[in-house]
Structure 1
Amino acid sequence: MTQVAIQLPDELTQFVNESVQSGGFHNADEFFISVVSMYKDQVEEGLSETEQAKLENLRRDIQVGIDQLDRGEGSEMNWDQFFAERHRAYAERHHAA
């Protein structure tokens, strides 16, 4: 899990603390995870069916890659060479047009 530091106005800090103290959450981390998850769901609900399908396909492809790396099937990549080739191909496409 990644740690993220944020600064809140006093009013919002008080709201978070009150939410935790009221027993709704065990701690501030749980509060923020819940809020961000709800926002994520809300954003994704606004996607069209096509966009949702693309998002699901992307998540599935990412999981395939993660699984491959977990099995030790990854390989080193020369990112400088990769981007140089992409830039060259882009330039060729746009100069030919």
Structure 2
Amino acid sequence: KGKGKGKSKRKEGGKGHLLPRTRLSAEKFTGTVSAWKGKYGWIKPSEEIEHEKAKLHQGDLFVGIEDLEGVTELTKGATVEFHVWEDDSGLGAEEVVQH
């Protein structure tokens, strides 16, 4: 008795970074870190990305901690290189290297 009482039936949120991805870039892009929130952040590409989802998130690309190469966090304002990917929620950056 009492099992399951008071527990939410809804699924956990914040799992968008686990959606299936498709890489869009053959060459690495450059950009600037516009925000870092501890485990994820946003990158402003140096050049406009021509894609139907590029205008989402004010043109910024999502980056998760698992997408970083050689570091465990990014510094706001830092220059980065990355590949671009697409999933159902928009565009993001992977294999991100901070300079």
TM range (shorter): under 0.3
Answer 1 or 2: higher relative contact order, Cα 8 Å, separation at least 6. 2
Q: Higher helix share goes to which structure?
A: 1
Q: Give 1 or 2 for the bigger CA radius of gyration.
A: 1
TM-score normalised per structure 1? 0.19
TM-score normalised per structure 2? 0.19
